[in-house]
Amino acid sequence: MSRRVSVFGSSRLAPGDEEYEAARRLAGLLTADRWTVITGGYAGVMEAASRGAAEAGGRPTGVTIRSWSERIRANPWVTREIATDDIFDRLRYLLDSEVLVAVAGGVGTLAELALAWNLQQASDATPRPIIAMGRRWEAMMPGFREHLIDRTADQEIVRLLPGPEEVVAALRATDEESVG
């Protein structure tokens, strides 16, 4: 059975940036645990996660947008590219993973996280882990939880974790619970 994890994040981070390296490390650890890493396929965090997965022997998937191909290409670490017709098809594919992890990002990453959060809140489907990883989310999530008009249970859908090792440990614990 394929276990897929989608990693979301900014296209504006570069090798050496703290969050780029954290996404790279996360993807390497996930690949070692036999997860298939899926990203939006472009630069920044998406490149870092693709790179970390490839360096760990994985075959990262990049979900790109066909109409953007004239001005932007998939990052060189993507081994399987899925070109979608538009951003909505791209999101559908990315949000279909068993686990979703948001690393540092801008409005696009926030929109992806918020959409995943809202779909989980409104769905009768089996809950899946949605994780916000890193110090930037640690700064933002308390404000969301304080100011959004939601039930406490809905606010707890997104799990806040500081780094790659904690994300992998949490997923391992979830795996153990589902087996036991």
pLDDT tens by residue, 68-127 = 999 999 999 999 999 999 999 999 999 999 999 999 999 999 999 999 999 999 987 778
Instruction: Reply yes or no on whether the pLDDT at 27 is more than 70.
Output: yes
Write down the pLDDT at residue 91.
96
Extents of the domains making up the chain: 4-172
Q: Work out the average pLDDT over 50-55.
A: 98
Write down the pLDDT at residue 151.
82
CATH of 4-172, one of 3.40.50.720, 3.40.50.1240, 3.10.129.10, 3.40.50.450: 3.40.50.450
Kind of pairing, strands 80-84 and 61-65? parallel
Give kind and range of the element (H or E) at residue 146.
Answer: helix 135-147
Question: Which of 163, 178, 162 minimizes the C-alpha distance to 28?
Answer: 163
- Give residue 97's region: left, alpha or beta (phi > 0; psi -120 to 50): beta
Instruction: Judge contact between 61 and 27, C-beta under 8 A.
Output: no
